[in-house]
């Protein structure tokens, strides 16, 4: 079998949190195109259902939509039960749901701080832990967590201390889980995207001045597209990445190099 054939994900069972839109939807689409069955997990169940229907129609795979809040352990356990009931196993988890908040540190309330840490860091822990428990029993699996270039640098001008701290936490959490589970064939990696133009960012009038500034700073002179994160995630999900664990993949058009 050639390398491209080996990279296919036929028959693999995958969940994607924050899969209704943006980066999650784009990566879920690539997983489906590669032959996997997909559970789309999101707070926004209407949009999650639309995405699941689109994946089934366009790629001839099975897809289900589940409403779950990644910060709620009961929701996460229920989501795993549904996946095992419908799919019978879990091979890959893409723990991707996250939010951003731009508030100066001196003005940030503790509630605002906790909200970002809860979703971006504790949500990744809960979903990766739940996936890991299933995969350890099964004898293997691959977990991919969404961090950010903000886990590596403090990007300006927007003040984002809770976001930056949460994403740095995701990178170190990923390495910790990778080391704990390496001997049992559960691999854990993270991706650190740079600025990615999603519907949300591109259509937000408030963000247009910032986007102009980011583009001027970016070595490639532009933001990334969600599709530009697909191939790294398909690689990490599949069997050709068998020696890759505990790694973080920066996909930022060299933004962190400047």
Task: List, by residue number, the catalytic residues.
Answer: 148, 163, 167
Q: CB of 26: closest distance to ligand NAD in angstroms?
A: 8
Is residue 254 helix, strand or coil? coil
Select from 7, 82, 99, 136 the one that contacts ligand NAD (CB under 6 A): 99
Are the C-beta atoms of residues 62 and 39 closer than 8 Å to each other?
A: no
Interacting positions 121-150 with ligand NAD (CB under 6 A): 123, 146, 148
Q: Does 160 bind ligand NAD (CB under 6 A)?
A: no
Q: Does 253 bind ligand NAD (CB under 6 A)?
A: no
Q: Does 169 bind ligand NAD (CB under 6 A)?
A: no
**Closest by CA position to 177, among listed 237, 120, 248, 117:** 248
**Closest by CA position to 18, among listed 221, 210, 229, 206:** 229
Are the C-beta atoms of residues 121 and 170 closer than 8 Å to each other?
A: yes
CB-side neighbour CA atoms (13 Å) of 183: 1
Select from 16, 17, 28, 173 the one that contacts ligand NAD (CB under 6 A): 17
Of 95-103, 132-140, 177-185, 207-215, which part binds ligand NAD (CB under 6 A)?
Answer: 95-103
- DSSP secondary structure code for residue 170 in this structure: H
* 12/25 with CB nearer ligand NAD: 25
Locus of tokens 């419908």: 86
Locus of tokens 């996936």: 131
Site residues, ligand NAD (CB under 6 A): 17-18, 20-24, 42-44, 69-71, 96-100, 119, 123, 146, 148, 193, 195-196, 198, 200-201
């Amino acid at each position: 079998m050639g390398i491209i054939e080996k990279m296919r994900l036929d028959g693999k069972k995958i969940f994607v949190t924050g899969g209704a839109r943006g980066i999650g939807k784009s990566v879920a689409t690539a997983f489906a195109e590669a032959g996997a069955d997909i559970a789309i997990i999101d707070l926004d169940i209407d949009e999650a259902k639309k995405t699941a229907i689109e994946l089934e129609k366009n790629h001839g795979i099975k897809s289900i939509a589940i409403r779950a809040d990644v910060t709620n352990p009961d929701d996460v356990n229920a989501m795993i039960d549904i996946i095992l009931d419908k799919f019978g196993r879990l091979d890959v988890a893409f723990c991707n749901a996250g939010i951003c908040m731009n508030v100066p540190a001196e003005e940030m309330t503790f509630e605002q701080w906790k909200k970002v840490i809860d979703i971006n860091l504790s949500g990744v822990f809960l979903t990766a832990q739940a996936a890991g428990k299933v995969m350890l029993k099964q004898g293997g699996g691959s977990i991919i967590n969404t961090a950010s270039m903000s886990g590596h640098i403090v990007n300006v001008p927007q003040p984002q201390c809770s976001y930056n701290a949460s994403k740095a936490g995701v990178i170190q959490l990923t390495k910790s889980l990778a080391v704990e589970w390496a001997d049992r064939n559960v691999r854990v990696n993270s991706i650190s995207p740079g600025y990615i133009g999603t519907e949300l960012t591109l259509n937000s009038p408030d963000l247009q001045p910032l986007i102009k500034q980011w583009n001027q700073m970016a070595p490639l002179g532009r933001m990334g597209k969600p599709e530009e994160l697909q191939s790294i995630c398909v690689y990490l999900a599949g069997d050709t990445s068998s020696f890759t664990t505990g790694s973080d993949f920066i996909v930022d058009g060299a933004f962190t190099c400047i």
